[in-house]
Chain A
């Protein structure tokens, strides 16, 4: 059974940093791309970042230069390092598994339960 379990959420001050983790199980982690999607309270979904199977990373303009996506294949874990956080980064962050190794948007077929990040002083 595929499982994705996010952790690392919480309250952080503007300008601060936070690292999210997504522990994956039930599939061969290196065979699929992985993605972060966020959802601000009461709002729609927003794509944040994707890492595909060859390690290439992609970012939304809104987080480029502030967020870094990475994986630890030995731990089957996806990360999102978030720096210079802003109030508008407040959202539930979901990790999601891609349907294949290379395409960044051919559907995300498994999602974690989400972790809430609140950026506020």
Chain B
């Protein structure tokens, strides 16, 4: 089960916006609406930031938004803050009842 493709790292200055991509295939990202995004700070458990491509769980800042076009999903963080510095992972349902994660993206706030 090969992983979804994410950039290894992205960076931005406080107040700026960044976008993290997550590229799969028609068997996963492109073919289903079950794309999620997780934030993970060092030594901590992951935290759900986006589910079902575009939905934000209660309590997650509206600075975080999700979208999808074809086989690529995206997470956009606007108004970057220092506390956003973390690793971000996408996940997607894949055909035949499996789930696949992206390799993760390290976000650095400059």
The smallest C-beta distance from B48 to any residue of chain A, in angstroms, reads: 5
Known contacts A107-B52, A111-B45; A62 and B98 CB within 8 A of each other:
no
Q: How far is the CA of A78 from the CA of B47 in the complex (A)?
A: 20
Whether the pair A45, B45 counts as a contact (CB closer than 8 A) is no
Known contacts A45-B38, A60-B1, A62-B1; A104 and B99 CB within 8 A of each other:
yes
Cβ of A106: which chain B residues have Cβ within 8 Å of it? 34, 36, 51-52
Whether the pair A47, B46 counts as a contact (CB closer than 8 A) is no
Which residues of chain A from 11 to 64 have a CB within 8 Å of any chain B CB? 37, 44-47, 50, 58, 60-62
Cβ of B100: which chain A residues have Cβ within 8 Å of it? 47
Q: How far is the CA of A96 from the CA of B103 in the complex (A)?
A: 19
Whether the pair A107, B89 counts as a contact (CB closer than 8 A) is no
Cβ of A107: which chain B residues have Cβ within 8 Å of it? 36, 48, 50-52, 55, 57
Indicate if B30 sits at the interface (CB-CB under 8 A).
no
Whether the pair B89, A44 counts as a contact (CB closer than 8 A) is yes
A47, A61, A104, A113: which contacts B45 (Cβ < 8 A)? Answer: A113
Known contacts A105-B34, A106-B51; A45 and B46 CB within 8 A of each other:
yes
The 5 closest A-B pairs by CB, nearest first: A107-B51, A111-B45, A105-B93, A47-B99, A44-B104
Can you show 11 pairs from A to B with CB atoms below 8 A apart?
A44-B102, A45-B38, A45-B46, A45-B89, A58-B99, A105-B34, A105-B99, A106-B51, A107-B52, A108-B46, A111-B45
